[in-house]
Structure 1
Amino acid sequence: MANEPSAVPAPPWRKPRRPAQVKRQLSQELIVETGLRVLDAEGFDALSMRRVAQELDTGPASLYAHVSGKEELLELIYDRVLSEVRLPEPDPSRWKQQLRAYALEIHRVFREHPDVARAALATIPTGEHSLRMGEFTYGLLIDAGMSPRQASLVMDRLTLYLVGDAYEGSVHWARMRASGMSGPEEYFQSFVAQITAYYRALPGERFPHLREHVDDLTADDGEDRFAYGLELLLDGIEARMPKL
């Protein structure tokens, strides 16, 4: 209104107040997203309930109303990561192509979250997205003609291969962080150079093949090795698939 008095300005010597930051309401989803962010940025060993609480500007005790502890947090983070896996509509007539695409898709997601594989080993799938992937793989194999018992073993061994490969990658990521090197390329060049030099120094009379063929031993990178191992598995599965 026109008759209202003008506001009095703040004295120039008074420090301006910072606008208060509105805290997001704590929820399991927020805690999991924050935990995943810590895991990706700082690694598996840095993740703790205290560290997540620090990121959320709260105390660890407040998290326990939503997550029972670090073990459950890791399970939830793992299932959250699996939500990024894209699955096609199952087509049993193309089971081998679909299983290959499925494995490559998981490999892609694990590469984006290297340390999550350390939370996956020895984990029984109970989360929504773990179950979604299990249903896809198991159902695809059974509908393609494999017995449920055989399909169970295939699913178990294929999962172990995918998680184990990702776990190895997570170990190298941890070493790279600790080394202070600029990135994966520098780290792996240094790693391979050390292996090559060591094998070349082995006594030739005791280890002739390892010493002579060290260049072949170190020729393929991680992606080539993953692809080769996957084809070995798929060919083995195909050999056990009933001929319809």
Structure 2
Amino acid sequence: MPPTPQDRRAARHQAGPATPAGRRGPSGGRKQPITVDLIISTAFGIIETEGYEALTMRRLAVALETGPSSLYAHVVNKEDLDELLIGRLCAEIPLPAPDPAAWRTQIAGVCTRLRDQYLRYPGISQATFAAAPSNLDTLRVSEGMLAILLAGGIPPQVAAWAIDSLTLYVNAYSLEVSLANRRAARSDDGWVISRDEMLRRIAALPETFPQTKRYGAELTAGTTHDRFDFTIALLLDGLPAANPHSTGT
């Protein structure tokens, strides 16, 4: 019986690096052997220049000067590739030793670093939605977040669901910012407007929007990262800590 996708994923964590086979280009010259690391690096290059939506197995094969079928000797499918990409980003996130006196600051820091990793590659956080992570590097981050919350006195069930809420927000925020930045980069896109224009539009609203007209400045205030920090703090403020002295402030 051939190995299942789960078997092939698990083998990457158990076996040592395989010796890559050499290959030749169209002109007969030697090309860099295809490895999982090369596939991941090339995929990141595509995302960085063209966006996550451009990444397909066929597009990746073209970039590697090979056929799509040859990639499946190294990755199971596109979902497996997504998991490898997110895992590579998570591997670069430093995790602090849990400190009961600073748990809020530590959790907010992990969320910020995760956000910054996603924003390096436009739209890549889309790969995290509806996915149950099994990559060890990805699980390492959730393990670290769980340890921090537990050290802060957060009950285990609350901590587990808090991680889900926090990461979902980070993923959605990163995707929205990537989409907005891409739209802003298109000079012909008239839907991108400045804050001043937003304020003018709000001021011109009919009187059936009295609160929006009155608080237009507040509704449009702050940078996107200001709003990120506010929402992370809002989520953390709602967590019931078992130890009232573990505030992290």
Deviation at 1:200, TM superposition (A): 2.7
Measured at CA, do residues 193 and 66 of structure 1 come closer, stay the same or move farther in structure 2, by a change above 3 Å?
Answer: farther
Deviation at 1:107, TM superposition (A): 2.1
Structure 1 unaligned residues grouped into runs of 5+: 1-18, 182-186
Tell me if the contact between 1:142 and 1:148 (Cα under 8 Å) persists in the aligned partners.
yes
Aligned counterpart, 2:206: 203
Q: What do the CA deviations read for 1:77-116 (whole angstroms, capped 9, x no partner)?
A: 1111112212122223321221122122212222222311
Aligned counterpart, 1:11: none
Deviation at 1:134, TM superposition (A): 0.9
Displaced runs of 4+ in structure 1, greater than 6 A?
Answer: none
Aligned counterpart, 2:242: 242
Q: Distance in 2 between matches of 1:82 and 1:233?
A: 22
Aligned residues: 218
Greater share of helix? 1
Aligned counterpart for 2:143 among listed residues 135, 145, 150: 135
> Tell me, what secondary structure is at the counterpart of 1:86?
coil
Tell me if the contact between 1:95 and 1:144 (Cα under 8 Å) persists in the aligned partners.
yes
Structure 2 letter corresponding to 1:211: K
Measured at CA, do residues 194 and 61 of structure 1 come closer, stay the same or move farther in structure 2, by a change above 3 Å?
Answer: farther
Tell me if the contact between 1:117 and 1:170 (Cα under 8 Å) persists in the aligned partners.
no
Aligned counterpart for 1:105 among listed residues 113, 127, 141: 113
Q: TM-score, normalised by structure 2?
A: 0.79
Aligned counterpart for 2:180 among listed residues 164, 172, 175: 172
What does 1:41-80 correspond to in 2, within 5 Å? 41-80=49-88
Q: Distance in 2 between matches of 1:33 and 1:52?
A: 10
Measured at CA, do residues 230 and 72 of structure 1 come closer, stay the same or move farther in structure 2, by a change above 3 Å?
Answer: same
Measured at CA, do residues 69 and 197 of structure 1 come closer, stay the same or move farther in structure 2, by a change above 3 Å?
Answer: farther
Structure 1 letter corresponding to 2:238: G
Q: What do the CA deviations read for 1:128-187 (whole angstroms, capped 9, x no partner)?
A: 11110111111222233222111111111111121111121122133234x247xxxxx9
Deviation at 1:20, TM superposition (A): 6.3
Q: Is 1:163 the equivalent of 2:171?
A: yes
Structure 2 unaligned residues grouped into runs of 5+: 1-26, 245-249
Q: What do the CA deviations read for 1:168-209 (whole angstroms, capped 9, x no partner)?
A: 1122133234x247xxxxx96x354553343233212x1011
